[in-house]
Amino acid sequence: MSKPTRLSFLMKNPPRPSHCVPAALAVLACVSLAPSAHAVDAPRLTVVQRSVDQDQGGWLVNYRVRYHGAAGMVVTPTEVTAKVEGWVSNSRVAAHAVPRWSSAVISGAAGLSGTADVITAASDSQRCRERAAVQVWTDDTPDVLGGPPPASAKPTSAGAEPRQPILSVAPGAVVRVRLRLEHLHDVYGDYDPLLGARALELRLGTASFRDILPLDREQYFALPRSAWPVPPEERRDTRYFVSGPDSLHLEAHVPGNQYYRFPDRPVRYATKMRLSYWYLVANGTEGECHARISQSKDTPTSWKILAEGGDDQYLTTVGRWVKVERVFRTEPEATLLTLDFRISGSEVGEMWIDDIRLEPLVGSQQAGP
């Protein structure tokens, strides 16, 4: 039986549970990844530059690698392969408090991505996976020097595989590699990256390189990158407002205008939020005016309203602008929040709403499970 290498021993034995895994990273960083003496003359890739960036609940790793070989090589999509593996955890999420093994294999023959099961479960809400995707292009691709991959290497739509171009690599040429790691979890995936050092092995044709990725610490506290759009022009009124040039206008006597619902807005689970807005109810309004918050959990296979996340606020002051401020916490499984304003119970009345803001309060208290 062959003796296990030091690298395989370290990657196959989990570190202690923690929010990150600094001990494992410190040891792995000491492992030499230089090619053996007998392979010096073989085609190989060496790292010229590497950047590591958190992308919400995922990771984005960009490389510039140099090709060393006696002759040039042509790399077809089927000759691009990679393997990314390591112990991953995140103590903010109870299910990820204990490190679990993740091993994703990318084969050009099967596409430019691979998925690893981290937590297997019958329920989608409990299942966790890590998806690894790679893109490769060369410096001589027009208009991409120092920038994004060529258009042919970009995804054509959400979830679609990017098309890998055929590469022609000359001796000494620089190749750009982009590795994306995604945390696939219905609730936590968009905000909590899987933490832990990863071993990467990437092969282009007959040349390859290995690296240890320091993915053991969050770079920032991820929050949704979204905002409510401005209501359509026909629902805005320039006569009354707090901040110009207009405000949202509800009219009980106009069919369809007695109510306005903003589009569903992504929210981070279990997060303290503040909703604020100004409202003005016209004198003579007979209907009941109110604002309603609802929360839901939306997954690729199901959708449900979270009953505990609902809040209905009656707006009773008439004839003057009033500011409302509500502080609440999103539900532990919430992924979307909906806000609507309405006049109900009568066809007589008008209301204006302005300066609507929804913001997380994470300065002194971050989210938790």
- pLDDT digit of tens for each residue in the chain (369 aa)? 444 444 444 455 555 544 444 444 443 443 444 445 444 578 999 999 999 999 999 999 999 999 999 999 999 999 999 999 999 999 988 888 999 999 999 988 778 899 999 999 877 778 999 999 999 998 765 444 344 454 444 443 444 555 678 899 999 999 999 999 999 999 999 999 999 999 999 999 999 999 999 999 999 999 999 999 999 999 999 999 999 999 999 999 999 999 999 999 999 999 999 999 999 999 999 999 999 999 999 988 888 999 999 999 999 999 999 999 999 999 999 999 999 999 999 999 999 999 999 999 985 344 433
What integer pLDDT is reported at residue 248 of this predicted model?
Answer: 98
Q: What is the pLDDT of residue 302?
A: 83
Residue 5: burial class (beta carbons within 10 Å; 0-12, 13-18, 19+): exposed
The tokens 């759009």 sit on which residue?
A: 229
CA-CA-CA-CA dihedral for 60, 66, 68, 69, to nearest 10: 80
| pTM of the shown model | 0.80
pLDDT score for 12 = 55
Structural domains of the chain in order of their starting residue, each with its CATH number:
6-213 (no CATH), 233-360 (2.60.120.260)
Measure the CA–CA gap between 261 and 161, rounded to whole angstroms.
35
Q: Which two tokens stand for residue 362?
A: 């994470």
| pLDDT of amino acid 42 | 87
Q: Token pair for residue 13? A: 């034995």
The torsion angle over the Cα atoms of residues 5, 8, 13 and 14, rounded to 10 degrees, is 140
Q: Which residues contact 9 (CB under 8 A, 6 or more apart)?
A: none
Place of tokens 């005016």: 289
pLDDT of 13 reads 58
Residue 221's pLDDT is 94
CA distance linking residue 12 with residue 369, whole number of Å: 29
Q: Decide if 292 contacts 351 (C-beta within 8 A).
A: no
Interacting residues of 4 by C-beta distance below 8 A, sequence separation 6+: none
| Cis peptide bond N-terminal to 148, omega within 30 | no
- Predicted pLDDT of residue 123: 75
Distance CA 293, CA 339 (A): 5
Q: What is the pLDDT of residue 40?
A: 54
* Cα–Cα dist 152/349, whole Å: 55
Contact partners, residue 54, CB within 8 Å, separation at least 6: 60, 193, 218, 219, 220, 222
